[in-house]
Amino acid sequence: MTRVSEFFIGLLFGWGLLISGMTDPGKVLGFLDLAGAWDPSLAFVMGGAILIGVAGFAVAKKRTTSFLGSAMHLPTSRDIDRRLIIGSLMFGAGWGLAGFCPGPGLVTMGSGEPKAVLFVAAMIGGMALFEVLDRRERSLSIQPGRGQK
Amino acid sequence: MIIDWTHFTPWTALIGGVVLGIASAAFILLNGRVLGISGILGGLLAPRRGDINWRVFFLAGLILAPVTLSWLIPGVVAAPRIEASNLAIVAAGLLVGLGTRYGSGCTSGHGVCGLSRLSPRSLVATMAFMASGFVTVYVIRHLI
């Protein structure tokens, strides 16, 4: 049952992205281009999503297990640190460069668009690079005398 | 500021947004998971036993969305307008992959779910990637 739910929620999310127009990089860049002819659509997408999301998460926060009986995996980190900010700035630069963020990239790859396939391949490369850098950073910080000034 | 009235689609944007909200709410309420695409995909690159299948099933649904929606509502899937060169696409993909993993989230995880949870951490992340996106597009379209 949880597998069915995961699959259909993935499908539904992809439909939402397609209906909203956010799978079109031209539309995303139209929103990010404040100095040009501005397309405010993306703000309406976020608004509609958050409107429902707020209600959903308000219920979720009060629960110890999900309605299908799984554990609740709500984020616990509250740190606002360098990693969060530098990472988000890098993400924004990539987003502005091509108009793709991860979800629309994957959905548009599903349409068979060659440039989206290229984007997803490079994105997975970037994520793999993170794993390598992150592992190195962690292994350095547990060596005695390192990373604790 | 000039509004681009020919491309502005408030109704489909709002309806699509509501669908995204329903999917995000359903994922946390039914599966106990935060719907963050970069985290779901990135977790497959450091796979742990028992933490793989749910990601694969979710991503399979996501990737099958265009084909299935075209069956249900023919003509609803608009052809994407992609201006970026292949080189820019590769650079963008690397930045998005690395950045979302360092920043622990993207437009879905921080932008939709994080803001819906009223998380200050996600608000900072969302403001950072939005600001960076605005600046990048300004530089590309108006300075270079």
* pLDDT, tens digit only, all 144 positions of chain B: 899 999 999 999 999 999 999 999 999 999 999 999 999 999 999 999 999 999 999 999 999 999 999 999 988 887 899 999 999 999 999 999 999 999 999 999 999 999 999 999 999 999 999 999 999 999 999 998
Quote the Cα angle for A117-A122-A128, to 5°. 130
- Residue A27's Cα: distance from chain center in Å? 18
pLDDT digits (tens, 9 = 90+) for A85-133: 999 999 999 999 999 999 999 999 999 999 999 999 999 999 999 999 9
| Interface-testing mutation among B9, B77, B89, with chain A (most A C-beta atoms within 10 A) | B89
State whether residue B2 is helix, strand or coil.
strand
User: Residue A13's closest CA among B65, B86, B12, B112?
Assistant: B65
8 A C-beta contact, residue A58 and residue A52: no
B74 or A84, which is more confident = A84
Token digits of residue A36: 């040009």
The pLDDT value recorded for residue A143 is 63
- The domain ranges of chain B are 10-143
- The pLDDT > 90 percentage for chain A reads 90
Q: Which residue of A24, A71, A123 is in closest CB contact with B96?
A: A123
Q: Which residue of B61, B91, B106 is in closest CB contact with A8?
A: B61
The answer to whether the Cα torsion of A85, A79, A102, A139 is positive or negative is: positive
What letter does residue B87 receive in the DSSP assignment? H
Q: How confident is the model at residue A144 (pLDDT cuts 50, 70, 90)?
A: low
Rounded distance between C-alpha atoms, residue B56 and residue B123, angstroms? 28
The pLDDT value recorded for residue A140 is 85
Rounded distance between C-alpha atoms, residue A52 and residue A49, angstroms? 6
Q: How confident is the model at residue A20 (pLDDT cuts 50, 70, 90)?
A: very high
Token digits of residue A143: 């060596």
Residue A86 exposure: Cα atoms within 13 Å on the Cβ side: 5
Say if the Cβ atoms of A96 and B132 lie within 8 Å: yes
Place of tokens 């977790």: B43
The pLDDT of residue A149 is above 60:
no
- The pLDDT > 70 percentage for chain A reads 95
Residue A18 sits at the chain B interface (C-beta within 8 Å): yes
User: Residue B144's closest CA among B88, B81, B94?
Assistant: B88
A117 or A142, which is more confident = A117
Token digits of residue B122: 């996600």
| Interface-testing mutation among B27, B38, B102, with chain A (most A C-beta atoms within 10 A) | B102
Say if the Cβ atoms of B106 and A41 lie within 8 Å: no
Which chain B residues contact residue A136 at CB under 8 A? Answer: none
Average pLDDT for A55-62: 97
Q: How far is B76 from chain A (nearest CA, A)?
A: 7
Place of tokens 């290229």: A118
Say if the Cβ atoms of A10 and B59 lie within 8 Å: yes
Residue of B nearest to A75 (CA): B34
CB pairs < 8 Å spanning A and B:
492
The pLDDT of residue A145 is above 80:
no
First to last CA, chain B: 20
pLDDT digits (tens, 9 = 90+) for A36-48: 999 999 999 999 9
